[in-house]
Amino acid sequence: MGALQRTETAGTGAAMLTVDLGAVVANWRALAARAAPAECAAVVKADAYGLGAAEVAPALARAGCRTFFVALTGEGVALRRLLGGGPEIFILHGPAPGEEPMFAAHALVPVLNCAAQAHAWAAYAAELPAAVQVDTGMARLGLPPAEAAGLPHLHVTLVLSHLACADDPADPANAAQLAAFRALRQLWPDARASLAASFGIFLGPEYHFDLVRPGAALYGIVPTAGPHPIRGVLRLRAPVIQTRRVPAGAGIGYGQTWRAPGPTRLATLGIGYADGLPRSLSNRGGAWLGERRLPIVGRISMDSVIVDASAVPQAVLAPGTPLDLIGPMAGVDAVAEAAGTVGYELLTRLGGRFARRYLDG
């Protein structure tokens, strides 16, 4: 496996984020195979969920992905410059007032979410392709049924909606939204239809329609409790910057929220909440040296975290030794669960101070 390396921080003591582009591509191919004959797009909003759209999107395009989704117009402009004129790029938030010329200039397809957006787009360029999002029960973005039926004439090439409870296959909201979507898509019988994102792909073929649009699953977030083909794509490692011994009863970190139960060897790592490591992992999370878990003790600081290294021989934990915060022993979902959040938030919070390395399988 080759390595593409992009360094985003100066100095040699920075934490290292490694992204396996080969695994991202493998996940996309596995999802595409599961959803076939539906097309499999890729959601690369929020800088590819924090992992770097400048590297992720071209890798997916080289693998054959022809349709991409981002949230914001600026993201779409940057992606068009990156990918060139071939792929189709949808903007999930649609155009803000006055942005319509940017869509035309960069061949971006707006996702129209309300009547005001639809009328503004129709007045600007009704003949240009547009997508329409309908609200089937999430009450976030999209046209409610009463408004959907009264839109002006548009060149609608895609009608889409979003599932609110796809992470729970037994939730009756999934079937209710599916029925609502089937009815609403008939307003645009010639348009392609898309309902399923990552979790929805695993609800079954009836949710696939013409196009699925995975995001989280591309980046290693597991979208089902059952068997799955999803591979982990990232490894976050931070170096030991200091070790020390403390006596029994010593208070550790801000607020001294953890006290040594006996003589304890500690290691301080060069990573903290300024890098996106959730502060909620204080006294709950861990770091890994190979298969050995070193518990996080005390509160996570802005630039550092302390672990109990008593179980590791001092000779193998010198300053500079890298420990895994996310990796083979604890993936994104496991770390997010320990932090009391979801993998989506954990990924998108990862900061820009890391040195980054991209593996191109």
Q: Which pLDDT value is given to residue 284?
A: 96
Q: Which pLDDT value is given to residue 315?
A: 81
In a domain, 16, yes or no: no
In sequence order, the 6+-apart residues with CB closer than 8 A to the CB of 10 are: none
Cα separation, 106 vs 244, whole angstroms? 56
Look at the chain and count its residues: 361
In which domain, by residue range, is 307 found?
234-330
Kindly state whether residues 174 and 250 are assigned to the same domain. Answer: no
Q: Where are the beta strands (DSSP E) in 33-107?
A: 39-40, 42-43, 67-70, 88-91
Average pLDDT over residues 216-229: 90
In this predicted structure, the answer to whether residue 174 has a pLDDT above a threshold of 90 is yes
In a domain, 348, yes or no: no
In a domain, 12, yes or no: no
Cα separation, 338 vs 188, whole angstroms? 44
Cα separation, 201 vs 203, whole angstroms? 6
Cα separation, 221 vs 197, whole angstroms? 12
Kindly state whether residues 195 and 256 are assigned to the same domain. Answer: no
Q: Which residues pair with 7 in a beta bridge?
A: 355
Q: Which pLDDT value is given to residue 89?
A: 98
User: Of 353, 360, 361, which is closest to residue 7 (Cα–Cα)?
Assistant: 353
Kindly state whether residues 90 and 45 are assigned to the same domain. Answer: yes
Kindly state whether residues 317 and 267 are assigned to the same domain. Answer: yes
In this predicted structure, the answer to whether residue 128 has a pLDDT above a threshold of 80 is yes
Kindly state whether residues 69 and 158 are assigned to the same domain. Answer: yes
Residue 9: CB atoms within 10 A of its CB come to 16
Kindly state whether residues 265 and 136 are assigned to the same domain. Answer: no
Supply the mean pLDDT for the chain. 93
* 7 band by pLDDT with thresholds 50, 70 and 90: very low
In a domain, 252, yes or no: yes
Cα separation, 91 vs 109, whole angstroms? 6
Q: Which pLDDT value is given to residue 351?
A: 81
Kindly state whether residues 265 and 162 are assigned to the same domain. Answer: no
Q: Which pLDDT value is given to residue 5?
A: 45
In a domain, 345, yes or no: no
Kindly state whether residues 172 and 203 are assigned to the same domain. Answer: yes
In this predicted structure, the answer to whether residue 4 has a pLDDT above a threshold of 60 is no
Kindly state whether residues 304 and 198 are assigned to the same domain. Answer: no
In this predicted structure, the answer to whether residue 6 has a pLDDT above a threshold of 70 is no
In a domain, 349, yes or no: no
Kindly state whether residues 127 and 92 are assigned to the same domain. Answer: yes
Domain end point (choices 219, 246, 269):
219
Structure token digits, residue 4: 């593409």
Taking only the tens place, the pLDDT of each residue in 45-96 is 999 999 999 999 999 999 999 999 999 999 999 999 999 999 999 999 999 9
Q: Which pLDDT value is given to residue 361?
A: 64
Active site residues: 45, 254
Structure token digits, residue 59: 């890798």
Kindly state whether residues 123 and 155 are assigned to the same domain. Answer: yes
Predicted TM-score of the model (pTM):
0.93
Average pLDDT over residues 271-281: 95
In a domain, 353, yes or no: no
Structure token digits, residue 17: 């984020």
Taking only the tens place, the pLDDT of each residue in 282-336 is 999 999 999 999 999 999 999 999 999 999 988 889 899 999 999 999 999 999 9
* 10 band by pLDDT with thresholds 50, 70 and 90: very low
In this predicted structure, the answer to whether residue 32 has a pLDDT above a threshold of 80 is yes
Q: With the CA atoms of 329, 333, 339 and 340 taken in that order, what torsion angle do they form, in degrees rounded to the nearest 10?
A: -150
CATH of the domain at 290: 2.40.37.10
In this predicted structure, the answer to whether residue 164 has a pLDDT above a threshold of 80 is yes
Kindly state whether residues 67 and 124 are assigned to the same domain. Answer: yes
Cα separation, 310 vs 300, whole angstroms? 19
CATH of the domain at 189: 3.20.20.10
Q: Tell me the percentage of the chain whose pLDDT exceeds 90.
A: 88
Q: Which position has the higher pLDDT, 262 or 7?
A: 262
In this predicted structure, the answer to whether residue 352 has a pLDDT above a threshold of 60 is yes
3-class secondary structure per residue, 132-156: EEECCCCCCCCECHHHHCCCCCCEE
Number of domains the chain is built from: 2
In a domain, 113, yes or no: yes
